[in-house]
Structure 1
Amino acid sequence: MKFEHVVIVNEPDNPLLEDISREELWFGLLCRVENPAPFLPGLEGCSVLDRRGDELLRELDFGELKIRDRVTMVPMESVTFEAERTAEHAGGTLTIRIEEPVPEQLVLRFMYATTLQEENDDGPDMIAQFVRSAYHESDIDTVRVIRAIVSSGRMQ
């Protein structure tokens, strides 16, 4: 299953939404890489197993479930998470890319590639639809967490 969607970060025409800079948004994405617990409910721990330049290998501890992923960063542009496939985990890839479709409007594009089937013999797969919906909600929460990090003044 492959799918993508956009979550708006800055909307120049919306005075109720406080703008954050590309640097602040990138800092928030780096927080998700280095300390993913606020972004991933149920995560009990994260260990960095290897770090080389803009790439690292992590192990995410969800209790009984351990997931290894490789994170590749393109500074100020994107982060890609490649989860290894195991007997307990289907594996897959998530790329989060910072985009600016018009000046001062920042969005995050979330692009997923998983091993789930899009359809079965009866039509659209209900599990795939549920996963898409859950990922979308999680991605909206990612922006909320980044906004909370930025507003807490941790960047100063």
Structure 2
Amino acid sequence: MIFEHLVEINDPNNPMLTTLTPAQVWRGLMWRAEKPQDFQEDITELEIIEQGDDFLVREFALGKLNIRDHIEWDTGREIIYDTQPNDQHGGGVLTMRLEQPEPLHLFVRFIYRTSLPETATPGSEAAEDAYYASYVKSAYQEADIDTVRRIRELAAAGLLGKD
């Protein structure tokens, strides 16, 4: 399955939204990579296995589900989560890309690539998985909106700097 959508960060036509800088949003996205438990309460264990200037490898437990991610980034531009498949999880790739088409507009594009089929022959084994794809897409979108909400909270608390 491939699923892609945008979450708007800044809208100059909406005075109710606090404007965030690309740097603040980037720091928030990095915070999510390094401290995912601050974005998802169900994470019970986290270990950073390895970290460099533009990558990290982490393992965490989400209830009884164990996840291992290899995360790479192009600073200020995009961050890519490559979740390794295991017997509990099919793995996949999530790309979060900052986009600023105009000076006052800012978005994060979320792109998911998973092993979940989007279509299948009726009655086939993959048909049930394909049926759930729309639910998974909806859950991803809600989680991404929640990520941006949490980044806004961190920024409002002064934890993401001013620039």
Q: If the length of structure 1 is used for normalisation, what is the TM-score?
A: 0.95
Instruction: Name structure 2 gaps, 5 residues minimum.
Output: none
Higher share of residues assigned strand: 1
State the 1:101 CA deviation.
1.7
Counterpart pick for 2:137 among 132, 145, 151? 132
- Deviation beyond 3 Å, 4+ runs, structure 1: none
Higher share of residues assigned helix: 2
Instruction: Name structure 1 gaps, 5 residues minimum.
Output: none
1:66-145 alignment to 2 at 5 Å? 66-122=66-122, 125-145=130-150
Aligned to 2:154: 149
State the 1:64 CA deviation.
1.9
RMSD: 1.4
Aligned residues: 156
Distance 1:93 1:155 in 2: 26
Q: If the length of structure 2 is used for normalisation, what is the TM-score?
A: 0.91
Worse overlay, 3-12 or 54-63: 54-63
Percent identity between the aligned chains? 37
Asked whether the 8 Å contact 2:117–2:133 carries over to 1, the reply is yes
Distance 1:150 1:46 in 2: 23
1:32-77 per-residue CA deviation (whole Å, 9 max, x = no partner) reads 0110112224111221001122111100112322110100011011
1:38-77 alignment to 2 at 5 Å? 38-77=38-77
State the 1:14 CA deviation.
0.8
